[in-house]
Structures are given as C-alpha cells and as structure tokens.
Structure 1
Amino acid sequence: MENHPVVVIGAGPVGLAAAAELAERGLPTVVLEKGGSPGAAVAEWGHVRLFSPWRDLVAPAAARLLAATGWHRPDDGDHPTGRAWVDAYLTPLATALGDRVRLNTEVTGVTRRGRDRVVDTDREDRPFTVRVRTADGEERLTARAVVDASGTWGAPNPLGGDGLPALGEEALADRIAHRVPDLADPAVRDRYAGRTTAVVGRGHSALTALVALAALAEEAPDTRAVWVLRRGGVGDAFGGGEADRLPARGALGERARRAVDAGHVRVVTGFRTAEVRERDGRLVLVDDDGRELEPVDGVLALTGFRPDLSFLSEIRLSLDPVLQAPVELAPLIDPNVHSCGTVYPHGVRELSHPETGFHLAGMKSYGRAPTFLALTGYEQVRSIAARIAGDHAAADRVELTLPETGVCGGSGLFDEPEAADEGGCCGGPGPEAVELTGTARVR
C-alpha cells in the first residue's frame, strides 16, 4: 500500500495544509477538490473579513513550501477577507503543490478495496478506493490513506427549529438563503433594498447580516430586518464588546446592538420555525405553537452547518452520537458542557476511527460543534501526516499553543464560517452560527 498516494479530500485551508505536510515528508499525495478553484468554499464568503490576523491563517508547512517559490507573505497583523485569503495564500499554495491538486473532482464514495464495511477479513491490509466524478465521467483512485478535510460548508442546517427542514422550506427555497449576502453586489443588493428580511440565528453570521441590512436601510429607508431568535431573549448574543480580546469581534456585536437600538431591526425571541407559508407573494414563518410572524420578502437562515457523511457510508467511523465528531474529540468541544476556556490542542489520537488510515480533519472533524480554529486544523494535519509517515513520536507530540481569545458570552470564532445552531459560549442547547471568523471561540 505504501506505493499508493494519500488522498486528501478538499482544497481548502486545512486540506492544502495537509498536502503541504505530506509533501514535506515526501509522501505521494493527491488533493481532490469539488470546486473549480482552490478554496472554493472560502471564495463563497469572500466578502467577509476574518477576525484573525494573517499570523494565525498560514500553516507552518505551507509557509515553508511557499517560501521556496518566492511567495510574498502578507503582513502578519492584517485581517484579510475570505477573498484575500484565497488570492494571497490558498491559490499560491495550490500552485506550489502543482499537479497534486485536482480541481472539479467530486468524491462520491470511499471504501476499502474489495471490502464493504461489514467484512473484517484482511481489511487493514487493503488500500482504500476513492470513487470520484469529473466532467469526463467516473473513476476510482487507490489510496494508502485518506484525509477528509472537505468541511461542512456544503451542508447548511435547515431553517426548521427541530433540525429538519420546516414545512414549506424546500418548496420556497428560492427565497430562503443560508449565506450572508454580499450587498456590495448590485444584483444581490436589489433583492434586499426596500424589503423586509427575516434573519434567523444568533451567531456572527446573523450579526453580520443585521449590520449589513441596517447600513442598507440608511440608503433605502424601507429596508427592514426581523431578527428571529430561538432562545427566549437576546442575552449575550452581542458578545463581549470592548472586553473582547479580538477587537473586531467585539466591534461587530456593538454595531449590531446599535442597529437594533436604532429601530432598523425588530427582535423576535422564543421562536422556533416549524413552517414557512406563502401569502400574497410574501413569506410567513410559523412556529410550533402556530404563532405567525409578519410577512417578509425573504429569509436568511443563518443557523450553521453540519457534516456530510453520505459518501463515507462504507467507512467504519466512530462518531459521538450528539456532535457527530470523533468520540475521543467530542468531550473536548461539546458546547452543551463546556464554558469558555481553551480547546486542548489535539492530533491523530483524538481523531482516530476504527478504520485505520482514515482521518477526518478540519471543521468536518468537529461535526456539529462550532469551536473550530484554523490553527487547530493545521495541528491536526501535522499530526496525521506524521502518523501516516510512521513517525509516531511526532504524531503524538503537541506543537501548538492556542491563544486565549474567548470572551464568556454568546459569540463564537472560527476560521471557516461553519457552525451549528445557536447556543452560547457558556453552554446552552447547541452551538451557534458563525460567518465572520478568524481565531477561536476557545474552550
């Protein structure tokens, strides 16, 4: 099996960091990216500025690989947008990795060659088969190990308050968005200017959208937002303000507070959407008790994301039943239990599954938990690459000290805008949605 490459799924920040680590160890590697460009998911929220500075967004192995190409590293103290992250880092990194990166290649299945998930016989001696779909058709790749760093961006949580799509949600999907809109785009702006939009969620995705809609209301006075919260009150949703150790994060919460105070945003609390109805060309949200909200022109369901496990049906995974994260990792990140603090740096040991040689990394490894940090993902893949290379001492060693950036409150930080529902940093019924991110809501 050692003659076969390691297959990395996803050419985002963590997937490309994994490839850089593997390349540094001289291991043949293939990165499979569904999108047409490196960092395709990041590019979809390219208009959003991260809270983290560049110093926390460049993987160490990637920096070493790029240095050999004459790459100009951005100023460590600057805070890039998602687009700048792609243009100034992810694209050059993919170029440096060369033909290891295959774009427009969708993974549709992973298994052991000749073995479904039920068969034990000589299972660990078999390489992996990775089934892919391209414009030219289907093909099978053989791999010695697989690192799934495909993230969760492609699987947004539904509007429905019970984890399932609300009644009518799928039929009316053309007016329900799951991304923070780029109101600098005239075509997008016209969908919201002078209209009323329901914003569902209480994380940074929601706050970002509320601030953007409030700014639009200054130009188009009939623009309104209805902020729909599943909890019984706003509570700590505005975050730590001036006490926040990440000033940009605190400033976002303060801008959202001012938007509410100025009357641009009406707040509705204790509302869990069960149904979406169309009435006179507009949308009406209905909760479990039959309560109806005022008609709106569109909905932003910023309720986070979840992992897509559908193409891993033949892989033996050991996942926590609540978070859908590896069972050894889940207790470290469970938002139902932990208060604000620090996520322990971790590696391959906490990410292990019964399927030897298969690894979840990056945001996907966190399942539905929202406490992810790019630096954490970079440490994950450093450890994973060491294990694949047989360097067990390096795999077990911790080479990351996380910054303490959390403020006890309902705010979360990620380097990728991926999260789950709308719990708080100090515990609660579940994680929260996040779009503007960069360092960590650490635990």
Structure 2
Amino acid sequence: MTDNTTTASSTGPCCGTATAATAAGACCDPVAKTEAVAAGASCCGTPAGTADSEPGESSAADGHEPPAAAGCCGGAAATVASTAAITPAPASPSEQAASPRELPVAVIGAGPVGLAAASHLHERGLPFVVLEAGDSIAASVRRWSHVRLFSPWRYNIDAAARRLLDAAGWTAPDDEALPTGGQLVEQYLQPLGKLPAIADNLRLGARVVAIARAGVDRVRSAGRENQPFVIRLADGTDLPAAAIIDAAGTWRTPNPLGVNGLPAHGEPDAADLIDHALPDVLGADRQAHAGRHTVVVGAGHSAANTLLDLAVLAETAPDTRITWAIRSASATRAYGGEQADQLPARGALGAGLRTLVDAGRVALVDGFGVHTVRRTTTSGVELVARDGRTLAADRVVAATGFRPDHSIADELRLDLDPILGCTRELADLIDPNEHSCGTVRPHGHRELAQPEPNYYAVGMKSYGRAPTFLLATGYEQARSVAAALAGDFTAADDIQLDLPETGVCSSNLNSDATAKDLADRHGIDPAIPARLAAATLPLLAAAASTEAAVRAAADQIGLDGDLAVRIAADATSTDTAGEGGLPSAAGLITLAPAASGGGGGCCG
C-alpha cells in the first residue's frame, strides 16, 4: 500500500509524492515542506519567513501558484490543474486566493461506503484524499469480522469499485454467497484499497478531529461558500479540501445501556464487564463467556447474532447461561418478519431467537429498562431496571445500537433532525417508528445536502440513530454525491436503488446454499436437510438435547438417526461449529427453509 507521508529524504531535494501533494493541497507534505523551504528549496513555494501562510497550507490559499513542472512538484501541479471544478459559484478576484476549486474532495473513513465514494470520485476525474483514523482500511468492519452478513455478495459490492477491480484482473467472489465481515475486507475492500487509484490517495492513521471553513467561523456568511474547508487531524495537521464526504460511520459511538439514552448510573465504573455490540463469543472472546452467565441487552440484529452465537457456545460449554433483556413489553418486533423477510438470512435471526426462547435456551426478560449498573461481590455485574427488578450476571453485552458523532463539524452549518441526528430532509424517510429499510424511498445528494455547501454525511452516519441502513443504500448515496460534486446533476438525481422489499432477495439464499453443500457432502437429496430441520425445530423445547430432537425428527421423516445427527452437526458453518461435531440448534435454525413472499419488515 502506498505511503502518502513520504518525506524529502526519500524523494529527492523537494518533498512528498504527487498524491501527497494533492492531499495536502500544496506542493509538498506539510512536514517535509517546512524542512525543504528551510533548506532553500524553491519548488515548495516561497522560502521560510516570506510566505503569507503557515507551513503546510495550500499554495492556492497563500496566493502563490506552484510551478507547473518544478522538480517533484510537477506531478501534483499537473494533477490539480487537470481536475474538474467542484464549486460551481464563480469567485471574484479578491476571493481567488482562497478558491477551493483545485483542491481534493476529502473522504472521511475507508470503510465500504468511503471506498465506494473514492471509486466514484476517481471515475469522475475529481481529486480526492481518503482519511482513515485506523491503521488499516475498514478498521471498524474488522471488529465484527466474525459476523455473517444477511445480504449476498452482489449487493455488497459497489458498482464503481467493481469496475476498478475488474479492470485490474480481480477474481470476484460468488455473487450468491453470504460473506462474513472478514471476507468483506479480505476479498473485496483490501484488494480495492491496494489499487493505485485508491492507495495513492489514502492516508491511514489520519483521525479527523475538526472541520471548518478557511478564515471564517460558523457565524461568517459573506463569501463563505468560496472558502475551502480546513480539516484538522489529531496530530495537528490542517488539510484543505474542496468538499467533504463524511463516511466515518457510527461504530465508535455506541449507545449506552441507560434506557433514557444516557449512560446508566455506574456504567462507566463497570466498563470492563460490558462488551459492546457483536463480541466474538465463539472465537477471541470465548473465554469471557464460556461457562458463565451473559445478559444481552438490545432487540436488534446485533443482539440476535450474539444470542445465536451464545446458544452455540452453550451446547459445548457446560453452565453457559443466556439472558436476553429488552426494553419493550414484547419481543414481537425483535423477531421481525421471520419467514416473510425477503432477506432469508436476516429472517432466520428472528426465527432463531423465537425458537431459542420457546425452548428455554434463552431466558427473555421484557420491559427491562436499565437504570443502574453495579458490581457484585462475586466479581460479576448487576443490572437494575427502572422498576427495581435486577439481573445478575458475569458479563453484559450492550447491543443497544449506535449514534452519530457530529462534533467534528461544530464549526459548519448543519441542519440536523432533532430526533435522529440526520438531515431533516432524510428524517421522515427513515424514521424507524414508521419505516423499515425496505420502505425507505430512494434518496441521494439532495436529501443529504446541508446548509454548508459541499458537505455530505453518507453511509451509517447519514442515518443518525436509525438502524435501518443497508450497504446498497450507502453505495447509491456515494454515487449520487460524487456526480453532484462533478456537476452532473442529471446523473446525481437519477437514483437507482433496489431495496429488499422490491425484489432484491426473493429466494432463500442461505438455506438453499447450505442444503446443497450438505447434500453433496453426504450424498443425499438436497431436500432432506431442510426437511430434517423443519421436523426438528418443533421438538427442541421438549427434548432432552438437540441430538435427541434430531433423532426423533429422523424417525418422523424416515431417515437414519446417525445420518441425521451428522447432517445436523454439519449444518453449523465451520466458523461457528461446536467442539466434537455435536448437532447445533443454531445451525438447524439457519438451515430451516424460509417461505418466499412479501410483507416482512426489512430491518425488524
């Protein structure tokens, strides 16, 4: 991967690479520029002591145009000079020095939507820089690498990114397979991030802490739209930009346990006993949960995934106990569309939860709004509800959702919905009180626009606190915004988004693929695994064990009992299989067929 912080010592008498120059909005990397100017280099602008700007600011901002072909600066100057204008309003002669026209678009975040935005900007011929806070691309996705997505590959790959990868000879994954977060990174995002078109404009370890307009604060109106953005990084570096696409997501800002949106009393003091969403309970975090009592708080897909994984763990780790605490008075909404869901793998989450609760493998506690968290004398934790009820456990998983952090944009003019924290225009379309993601009207740059021209939040951050986001939505947002920044409003307004309830997922992709694999492995009819699962699930509640339920079901359908146990054991994917090859309730739940049809809530 290209290092865009290369200094003078490795590139000759001037300073950084052309891509670093473009990213910095100057002829050189800021630190290298200071060193080079001090040494008398002329291609980095005026010598120290005579420039009007601070080291590292744009030469366009200080009124000195960089030489078109001077030493190492030629590439950067040529790159900037050849790009399309982003800000359509003409600048007066007095404003030319601060014009953002020739500066890059700054994309914040190198996750799926951020890299999609970069791919579309590249296709549009617009200069850009991707600023990633982590030390690798998709740093947040890597935190849930063990989780399997409920949409197949063909809806998890952005169109412009696919074109870039295909041109480089990329071997695409099976469009119908369901990737894990780790596979999304390894097979798609990592190869994309290594392409020169992306890698040469990528800065890792670049955490954005503030954004403003050059030379003006939030109060100043006159000429504001003609001033470039200034992006301040955690290391103190200021970078100029023509526009900003904030795809930083919400992973780093999870909701607290407190039912009122505030941290519960005592929550910070017990932080070491509280996992946030999607711990790897079958892998890296296994020892923290095996043979212990875990309370999962939350009613969304993150909670469902963790509860199902804990159920697999409980089948092989004696004394593992699972409690599910939800704020609402009923779990009906948490179960979602189940068989009616047009994303079958997502529907299986709800169906699986209902089965586990009905079988007594997960203890459901409803109407439990957490008010207080306190440590116990047995090195555990106790949750206290508003009504005084208590839940004691060894560990808590706070699967309570996420919220956006707009603090970096405090000096920008944002008009945010007071409920969700998204744009007001978008709020009515995504309100989870009214919508699932399949009923969200397709939207693009106009719904994402802010009073601050050329600033857009896309991806999860664009949805604020609404949990109804899909990757396909973020990809279309990125395409529309990139087209608008390029001035192609015809394309920007032509929103093309096919969400699940409009036919994206009309077949049971997950169970069909698993059943075919099992049939090939055991030399049986592909219909048998699904029949076995359907016959077993109703028997789980009364059976002494999963194996006993499987054998009873095999008798019902005329299948050899030993073969049925092997099929059931193999139904759990290899990344979640229990030790000893035992039948897994979670595996059978995933295998059970989901009926096709409409009407299911897209996101529960």
Query: Does residue 142 in structure 1 map to residue 240 in structure 2?
Result: yes
From 146, 149, 154, give the equivalent of 2:252: 154
Give the whole-Å Cα distance in 2 for the aligned partners of 1:340 and 1:380: 14
Give ranges in structure 1 of 5+ residues lacking alignment: 407-435
Give SS of 2:212's match: strand
Give SS of 1:208's match: helix
Q: Deviations over 1:322-379 (max 9, x none)?
A: 1111011111111123368521111110011000011111110010111111111111
Query: Does residue 273 in structure 1 map to residue 370 in structure 2?
Result: yes
From 179, 185, 191, give the equivalent of 1:86: 185
Partner of 2:128: 29
Q: Using the TM superposition, name which of 248-257 and 326-335 deviates more.
A: 248-257
Contact 1:386 1:394 in 2 (8 A): yes
Partner of 2:421: 324
Cα–Cα, structure 1 residues 242 and 396, in superposed 2: closer, same or farther, change >3 Å? closer
Q: Determine what percentage of the aligned residue pairs are the same residue.
A: 55
Partner of 1:376: 473
Letter in 2 for 1:248: A
Give the whole-Å Cα distance in 1 for the aligned partners of 2:340 and 2:480: 34
Give the whole-Å Cα distance in 2 for the aligned partners of 1:236 and 1:208: 16
The structure with the larger Rg is 2
Give the whole-Å Cα distance in 2 for the aligned partners of 1:404 and 1:63: 24
Query: Does residue 176 in structure 1 map to residue 249 in structure 2?
Result: no
Contact 2:228 2:242 in 1 (8 A): yes
Cα–Cα, structure 1 residues 161 and 336, in superposed 2: closer, same or farther, change >3 Å? same
Partner of 2:308: 211
Give the whole-Å Cα distance in 2 for the aligned partners of 1:308 and 1:340: 22
Contact 2:436 2:468 in 1 (8 A): no
Give the whole-Å Cα distance in 2 for the aligned partners of 1:188 and 1:13: 25
Report the TM-score, using the length of structure 2 for normalisation: 0.65
Give SS of 2:397's match: strand
Contact 1:404 1:442 in 2 (8 A): no
User: Which protein is richer in helix relative to its size?
Assistant: 2
Q: Displacement, 1:147? A: 0.5
Give the whole-Å Cα distance in 2 for the aligned partners of 1:113 and 1:236: 48
Letter in 1 for 2:404: P
Q: Deviations over 1:147-190 (max 9, x none)?
A: 000000100000000000000000110001112221232x5211
> Which structure exhibits the higher relative contact order, with contacts defined as CA atoms closer than 8 Å and separated by 6 or more residues?
1
Give the whole-Å Cα distance in 1 for the aligned partners of 2:177 and 2:493: 33
Cα–Cα, structure 1 residues 268 and 405, in superposed 2: closer, same or farther, change >3 Å? farther
Contact 1:405 1:442 in 2 (8 A): no
Query: Does residue 441 in structure 1 map to residue 538 in structure 2?
Result: no
Partner of 2:546: none
Q: Displacement, 1:121? A: 2.1
Give ranges in structure 2 of 5+ residues lacking alignment: 1-99, 504-589, 591-600
Contact 1:342 1:442 in 2 (8 A): no
Q: Using the TM superposition, name which of 122-131 and 330-339 deviates more.
A: 330-339
Partner of 2:119: 20
Letter in 1 for 2:275: A
Partner of 1:120: 221
Partner of 1:411: none
Partner of 1:302: 399
Question: Alignment RMSD, CA only?
Answer: 1.9
Q: Using the TM superposition, name which of 260-269 and 40-49 deviates more.
A: 260-269
Q: Deviations over 1:120-142 (max 9, x none)?
A: 12111100000112xxx321110
Partner of 2:515: none
Cα–Cα, structure 1 residues 214 and 323, in superposed 2: closer, same or farther, change >3 Å? same
Give the whole-Å Cα distance in 2 for the aligned partners of 1:338 and 1:36: 36
